[in-house]
Amino acid sequence: MSFSSDTKQELCRLEPERDCCRRAECYGAFLLANSFSPSSVSLLTESAAVAHRAAQEAAETAGVMAEVSSAVVRKGGRTTFAVSIPGEDQRLRFLHHFSHRSGEVNLRIHEENLAHPCCVPAFLRGAFLSCGTVTAPEKGYDLEFSVPFMNLAHDLALLLGRAGGIGLQPAVANRKGRFIVYLRGGEKVADLLTFLGATHASMALMQAKMLKEMRNNLNRLNNFETANIGKTASAAARQLLAIEKIQATIGLGALPEDLREIALLRWENPELSLRELGDMLSSPLSRSGVNHRLQRIVELSERQS
Ligand SMILES: [Zn+2]
């Protein structure tokens, strides 16, 4: 089961409390489906729950008997369910029920079907059930509606943009002859899922997002520390070797006072940072000052044979 189909399952378990919302959900599901005209009203879905819910809502809200059939798609072996309304008189009744006329060239959302604020989430839920998908949170944070007509896609984007004052900013793209209305980003997708009523899916998404961010932060910290410790350690090792060599050749006593002091401090404190060493000097020195002195020691050691 994909995250998308889990989300649809969750939405199909919701019981719309009001008749107006049940009707709005049915309208969203069929309007945004594969066809919505006198010659064909049909909805294709991979979810049995969605198919049966749509057929039931068509019967309850518009009094039409839809047929549900299923077929196994040869490629990929998935089952697809088709919900269709047989008979032109039934289809016309269905369209008129949602105030659509028979000769419409340009399918638009008729907002008079969303009379109350409660009907907007219900309509969008229907639309998501029939043409929506949401990416699994471990792969990304995308939610899309794949819409067959451009104007319908733009109407949907406008409605989503206004939805519940949650500040979604959907975009529309053309992909292989379909119009994709999409949201990107964990917070936006989670907000919309909550708005549609999929609170479990929304929580699962936010949790996955938090875990991923925590893991990224930990990794960044680890990389940072490894890189820095590595650098500090190898620089310190070079300095220790240089001090050892000077001691073995000319002796530390041959060094000028300022170099001798830092050489001894470094020798005794191989793990300290340059700044910490600088603070320990009889007259404290900046990090770069310490670095400069240690650099002179390394150069001096390189001149000893
Ligand atoms: Zn309502």
- Each residue's pLDDT tens digit, 65-95: 999 999 887 777 788 999 999 999 999 999 9
CA of 23 to the centre of ligand 1 (A): 8
DSSP letter, residue 167: -
Encode pLDDT of 212-266 as tens digits: 887 777 776 667 667 666 666 678 888 888 888 888 888 888 899 999 999 988 8
Encode pLDDT of 139-161 as tens digits: 999 999 999 999 999 999 999 99
Confidence at residue 225, expressed as pLDDT on a 0 to 100 scale: 62
The closest of 62, 67, 51 to 12, measured between CA atoms, is: 51
CA of 57 to the centre of ligand 1 (A): 14
pLDDT band at residue 102 using 50, 70 and 90 as cut-offs: confident
Confidence at residue 214, expressed as pLDDT on a 0 to 100 scale: 76
Judge if 286 and 164 occupy the same domain: no
d(CA 241, CA 84): 83
Torsion, Cα 25 103 81 27, to 10 degrees, reads 0
Does any domain span residue 153? yes
CA of 123 to the centre of ligand 1 (A): 9
Confidence at residue 234, expressed as pLDDT on a 0 to 100 scale: 75
Q: Total structural domains in the chain?
A: 2
pTM beyond cutoff 0.85:
no
CA of 196 to the centre of ligand 1 (A): 13
| DSSP annotation string for 245-276 | HHHHTT-GGGS-HHHHHHHHHHHH-TT--HHH
Chain-centre distance for alpha carbon 69: 34
d(CA 131, CA 211): 29
In terms of C-beta distances under 8 Å and separation of at least 24 residues, what long-range contacts does 63-66 make, across chains too? 63/93, 63/97, 64/90, 64/91, 64/93, 64/94, 65/90
Confidence at residue 131, expressed as pLDDT on a 0 to 100 scale: 96
Does any domain span residue 8? yes
CA of 22 to the centre of ligand 1 (A): 7
The closest of 94, 88, 117 to 31, measured between CA atoms, is: 94
For residue 139, give both structure tokens.
Answer: 């792969």
Q: Which residues pair with 82 in a beta bridge?
A: 44, 69
Confidence at residue 170, expressed as pLDDT on a 0 to 100 scale: 94
CA of 12 to the centre of ligand 1 (A): 17
d(CA 186, CA 193): 11
Does any domain span residue 204? no
Judge if 71 and 169 occupy the same domain: yes
pLDDT over 70 percentage in the chain: 95
CA of 26 to the centre of ligand 1 (A): 12
Chain-centre distance for alpha carbon 203: 13
**Residues sharing a CB contact under 8 Å with residue 69, sequence separation 6 or more, in sequence order:** 81, 82, 84
pLDDT band at residue 191 using 50, 70 and 90 as cut-offs: very high
Domain endpoint, select from 197, 222, 239: 197
CA of 199 to the centre of ligand 1 (A): 19
Confidence at residue 38, expressed as pLDDT on a 0 to 100 scale: 94
CA of 61 to the centre of ligand 1 (A): 13
Judge if 14 and 137 occupy the same domain: yes
CA of 19 to the centre of ligand 1 (A): 7
Confidence at residue 228, expressed as pLDDT on a 0 to 100 scale: 67
Residues 296-305: what's their mean pLDDT?
90
CA of 24 to the centre of ligand 1 (A): 7
Q: Give the mean pLDDT of the chain.
A: 90
Does any domain span residue 211? no
Q: CA distances (Å), 132 to each of 149, 237, 276, 295, in order?
A: 15, 60, 59, 64
CA of 31 to the centre of ligand 1 (A): 17
Given a contact cutoff of 8 angstroms between Cβ atoms, the answer to whether 229 and 287 are in contact is no
CA of 185 to the centre of ligand 1 (A): 28
Neighbouring C-beta atoms of residue 123, cutoff 10 Å: 26
Judge if 263 and 145 occupy the same domain: no
Does any domain span residue 214? no
Domain endpoint, select from 197, 217, 245: 197
CA of 120 to the centre of ligand 1 (A): 7
CA of 118 to the centre of ligand 1 (A): 4
Burial code of 91-114, b = ≥16 C-beta within 10 A, e = fewer?
bbebbebbebeeeeeebebeeebb
Does any domain span residue 225? no
CA of 272 to the centre of ligand 1 (A): 68
CA of 240 to the centre of ligand 1 (A): 77
d(CA 53, CA 26): 9
CA of 56 to the centre of ligand 1 (A): 18
pLDDT band at residue 115 using 50, 70 and 90 as cut-offs: confident
pLDDT band at residue 8 using 50, 70 and 90 as cut-offs: very high
Confidence at residue 232, expressed as pLDDT on a 0 to 100 scale: 66
Neighbouring C-beta atoms of residue 87, cutoff 10 Å: 11
For residue 25, give both structure tokens.
Answer: 């959900």
pLDDT over 90 percentage in the chain: 68
Does any domain span residue 272? yes
Judge if 243 and 192 occupy the same domain: no
pLDDT band at residue 166 using 50, 70 and 90 as cut-offs: confident
Confidence at residue 233, expressed as pLDDT on a 0 to 100 scale: 67
Encode pLDDT of 9-30 as tens digits: 999 999 988 999 999 999 999 9
Confidence at residue 106, expressed as pLDDT on a 0 to 100 scale: 87
